[in-house]
Structures are given as C-alpha cells and as structure tokens.
Chain A
Amino acid sequence: TQLLEQSPQFLSIQEGENLTVYCNSSSVFSSLQWYRQEPGEGPVLLVTVVTGGEVKKLKRLTFQFGDARKDSSLHITAAQPGDTGLYLCAGALRGSGGGADGLTFGKGTHLIIQP
C-alpha cells in the first residue's frame, strides 16, 4: 500500500488551461514537499509546506497543505508547455527527525501541457 497517493496519475491538457493535482494519505505529516522532475533530470524542490491549512504561491503554482496535514494539492493556473513534467509529493512523517529516510514519496503525476 502506497503511503502517499497521487492523482491523477497522468494528465494531458492544452496550454492556457487550469489544473489541480492531489496528494493524499491517511497518515499525518509534519511537512510536505512538492518536486518537479523533467525527463532526463533529477527532481527539483518547488516548495515545502509545514502548517496545516498553509497556502504557498510560486508564480502560477499554488500549493495547499490540508488542515489535518494528511493531504496537499497543487493548482496550476494558465498552464504552459514548460510546466510539463512529473510532479512528486513527499511527506515527512511526524517524529522522523528530518532525515531522508523519513521522507515518503508518492509515485507522481505525469503532466503534459500541449501547445
């Protein structure tokens, strides 16, 4: 059983559309991160959210951490082809001490933005 479930698994939309991808769990996390991975590259950290209900914006990307710290969402406004990639969420379980072993990754959402 995957600790972090990401949905949808695949998403292909036209440039200019809006979209939301989700990261859900039954576990409580002390923090949650979002990464984007482009083909042939390693994941790049986009944001870390630590407070239940927290909303962070990064240009056209809006990240939200659920009130109960069990889920998160990523909303992209006016998607562009440069947003194409694999979006991964990673949660740090409470009490994990900040080490890499305490991070659990979801399998990701493959996003394609067509021109």
Chain B
Amino acid sequence: KAGVTQTPRYLIKTRGQQVTLSCSPISGHRSVSWYQQTPGQGLQFLFEYFSETQRNKGNFPGRFSGRQFSNSRSEMNVSTLELGDSALYLCASSLGNGELFFGEGSRLTVL
C-alpha cells in the first residue's frame, strides 16, 4: 500500500513569509504527527492529530500550527518564518500504537 506522502519535498522561503506543508497518511491511519529535524536538536515533536483533533502539541511557538481533514490528510503552517526554522519537516502516520511510518520530509530553507 502507498506510504506517507509529503509535499513539497523542497522549498525556499525568505524571513517573514509563511509556509504550508502537506501530508497524506497511509490509508487507514488516523493519527498524523509532525516533527522538525535539525542537525543540532535532532527530531523534535511538533504536534499530533487524530480524527481531526489536535491531541498533543510540542514545545514550539504559536507560529507553528496544523490541522487535519476528514480524510486524515494533514497540513502544517509556519507563519513569520525565521532563519532558525530551516529544517527537515517530517510527517508520520500511525495506527495509534506508537509505531510511526514517516514520509520523506519537506526540506525548508529560510533565507
């Protein structure tokens, strides 16, 4: 079956702009979580959605937000981009048992 699909794979933005990233989970997976990966901090949890509801949120500023649609697809948005937001953003879907299936990620560069 198809894996987790993230779009776009690569994008370049400038400081102050906003960005929206998309994630389509594995069919049947209702849990979608988002992570930020940087060389210095590793993988850091952003938020998790289950059945269109945000279940938990990590320790990130309010500029980071997300949502989940009725078909389980999810989007995350980062507003007022800062240089430090440059990272690989990973989406993972799950059956809710803690075992995550990751997409290939969206590589964001902020100039």
Check A102 against B43 for contact (C-beta < 8 Å). no
Q: How far is A95 from B57 in the complex, measured between Cα atoms in Å?
A: 17
Check A102 against B98 for contact (C-beta < 8 Å). yes
For A80, list chain B residues within 8 Å (CB).
none
Residues of B near any A CB (own CB < 8 A): 4, 31, 33, 35, 41-45, 48, 50, 55-58, 90, 92, 94, 96-105
Residues of A near any B CB (own CB < 8 A): 31, 33, 35, 40-45, 48, 88, 90, 92, 96, 98-103, 105-108
Closest Cβ neighbor of B10 among chain A residues: A40
Check B102 against A43 for contact (C-beta < 8 Å). yes
Check A99 against B102 for contact (C-beta < 8 Å). no
Check B92 against A100 for contact (C-beta < 8 Å). yes
For B98, list chain A residues within 8 Å (CB).
31, 33, 48, 92, 96, 98-100, 102-103
Q: How far is A90 from B55 in the complex, measured between Cα atoms in Å?
A: 19
